[in-house]
A = this chain, B = another copy of it.
């Protein structure tokens, strides 16, 4: 059971990504959230407590770093909290850039108290380039890609996987980032691997997803965007390495510029569709089978209109699987 360390958690799409994902998809494994700025409230039914002592009453065995600190590093206040978690006998899991286990002080303290420090973004030591095994995985590989970061690629993959399982299909979600790893309990954070081994890491993930039971469908979480000025390399390496037959393009309704990068436009949706298809591996061309539109900022009527407009603009099936359910998209994929 987790106590999710969520100091200052605000629901901001970047800052609270891991806390939100784990509350949503591993609800039963979350004892409570720790956030001294709003004790006594709750997040999706999970109680928020203000102190570690109160959190311990819920009986967690693991503290999960649930928010993204500035630059992925641990400010002094966080270090103090992590020390107290370790001293309280909790294992600690973190998906930040800075690795807990490489910290001499925390590492020694963990040894003393017999707890484990798990760095979810640490790449496996034995990665290499792809071998071609990705093209031999006997399953339909669906990859959720995007026009932007943090608009729901992970969520869409999770919802499609849940819907496929509800229909009795042998399906698995394939995690490629820290939150996905917490949710699924396995995976590789592909953005943290040496760039040379991006595609090799992605290949390993689809091979493992198949072995773990994804015998009919694999839903591979996307990262970044081919038109994002910082992360497109990660996106393309993952796209090639996971070798999907089908893509679901995720887009935030109405967005025309990359967040945090003024002057960097998101091209029209039909152009983004074409870019992904043309960029796919020449040995296995991927086809965009559907648009997953994130309509979180709209009311129901406007959301319906935006979905219709996206379908019209691209000539593809479109839906918001979070708002309206993943059934329509899954049917389109099985098309």
A-to-B contact residues, CB < 8 Å: 71, 97, 128-130, 132, 135, 190-196, 198-200, 226-227, 229-238, 240, 261, 263-267, 274-275, 278-279, 281-283
Contact = CB atoms under 8 A, between A and B. Distances in A.
Contacts of A231: 129, 196, 199
A53 B269 CA distance: 65
B200 A196 contact: no
Contact of A265 (B130, B263, B264, B283): B283
A46 B226 CA distance: 45
Contacts of A191: 194-196
8 contacts: A195-B198, A195-B233, A196-B230, A229-B240, A232-B237, A233-B233, A233-B237, A234-B237
Residue among A195, A229, A234, A235 with most chain B CB within 10 A = A195
Q: How many copies does the complex hold?
A: 2
A52 B266 CA distance: 57
A187 to B, nearest CB: 15
Given A132-B261, A195-B190, A195-B193, A238 B233 contact: yes
A267 B279 CA distance: 12
A199 B229 contact: yes
B192 A193 contact: no
Nearest to A264: B283
Nearest to A192: B194
B275 A279 contact: yes
Contacts of A230: 129-130, 196, 199-200, 240
Contacts of A275: 278-279
Contact of A234 (B195, B278, B281, B282): B195
Nearest to A272: B282
Nearest to A196: B191
A239 B218 CA distance: 30
A209 to B, nearest CB: 19
Given A192-B195, A194-B192, A240-B229, A263 B283 contact: yes
A132 to B, nearest CB: 7
A313 to B, nearest CB: 17
Contacts of A97: 196
